[in-house]
A and B are shown apart, each in its own frame.
Chain A
Amino acid sequence: GEDVEQSLFLSVREGDSSVINCTYTDSSSTYLYWYKQEPGAGLQLLTYIFSNMDMKQDQRLTVLLNKKDKHLSLRIADTQTGDSAIYFCAETTVDSNYQLIWGAGTKLIIKP
């Protein structure tokens, strides 16, 4: 079945780059997403990438997709305290009838 996996925690120093990784198993992915959830808040769509793209950049965010290895990453440049949140990787696939398949989320901890 479909599966999306992420590390549960990532700790980085303020000002460094953060790289959050995600792996998935379904090769019929259509879109892959990164959602951000700040403490006590809802889910905010950060960015997404179509499955035939390798990279997408949006200001401080860079998404890299390696389809061969089924690996997705989110790089946040110049990490700030406001970036503290849980980051969820998700995909939609043909096999899931375009429902979202979610990772468990990576909690990004910023050290001063």
Chain B
Amino acid sequence: NAGVTQTPKFRVLKTGQSMTLLCAQDMNHEYMYWYRQDPGMGLRLIHYSVGEGTTAKGEVPDGYNVSRLKKQNFLLGLESAAPSQTSVYFCASREAHRDTQYFGPGTRLTVL
């Protein structure tokens, strides 16, 4: 039982490049989330999903897209990276009828 895993752990992009971050969970959780963490701020919700095939916008969705084709995976895409997207990205998941979220180890993304 690996919990929540994220790939890659680190990535450096040039402005305008695209990439996809992968989150996987093996706990059969319904809900999955993508957050970004910036210094001096709490985590901010980018997008979330309440089940396979469904996604919704969070607090800061602009510049990101997501997909949940399989229940265990939640992908975060950056189509045209910008320096403002330099951040640490965390994925989380939870069961449908419980509030507690479990987090992945994070992906540190730098956009030059």
Main secondary structure of the interface of A (DSSP, over half): strand
Contacts of B48 on A, CB cut-off 8 Å? Answer: 99
Contacts of B100 on A, CB cut-off 8 Å? Answer: 31, 33, 45, 48
Assess whether A43 is in contact with B58, with CB atoms less than 8 Å apart.
no
Assess whether B99 is in contact with A88, with CB atoms less than 8 Å apart.
no
Tell me the bound Cα distance from A99 to B106 in angstroms.
19
Main secondary structure of the interface of B (DSSP, over half): loop
How near does chain B come to A69, taking the closest CB pair, in angstroms?
20
Does B34 count as interface, using CB distance less than 8 angstroms?
no
CB 8 Å contact bits of B97-108 with A (1 = contact, 0 = none) = 001111111100
Tell me the bound Cα distance from A35 to B41 in angstroms.
14
* Cβ contact of B102, chosen from A45, A92, A104, cutoff 8 A: A45
Assess whether B45 is in contact with A100, with CB atoms less than 8 Å apart.
yes
- Tally the A-B contacts, defined by beta carbons under 8 Å: 48
How near does chain B come to A104, taking the closest CB pair, in angstroms?
5
Tell me the bound Cα distance from A88 to B42 in angstroms.
8
Q: Interface residues of B, CB < 8 Å — how many? A: 19
Assess whether B42 is in contact with A104, with CB atoms less than 8 Å apart.
yes
Assess whether B42 is in contact with A105, with CB atoms less than 8 Å apart.
yes
What's the interface size class on A, roughly?
Answer: 20 to 34
Contacts of B105 on A, CB cut-off 8 Å? Answer: 41-42
* Residue among A30, A42, A90 facing the most chain B CB atoms (10 A cut-off): A42
Does B43 count as interface, using CB distance less than 8 angstroms?
yes
Q: List the A residue with the shortest CB-CB distance to B91.
A: A42
* Residue among B33, B40, B42, B100 facing the most chain A CB atoms (10 A cut-off): B42
Pull 15 A–B residue pairs with CB atoms less than 8 Å apart, ordered by A.
Answer: A4-B42, A30-B99, A31-B100, A35-B103, A41-B105, A42-B104, A43-B90, A45-B100, A90-B43, A99-B48, A100-B33, A100-B45, A101-B42, A102-B44, A105-B42
Question: Which 5 pairs of residues, A with B, have the shortest CB-CB distance?
Answer: A102-B42, A42-B105, A43-B103, A31-B99, A102-B43
Which B residues lie at the A interface, using CB under 8 A? 33, 40-45, 48, 58, 90, 92, 99-106
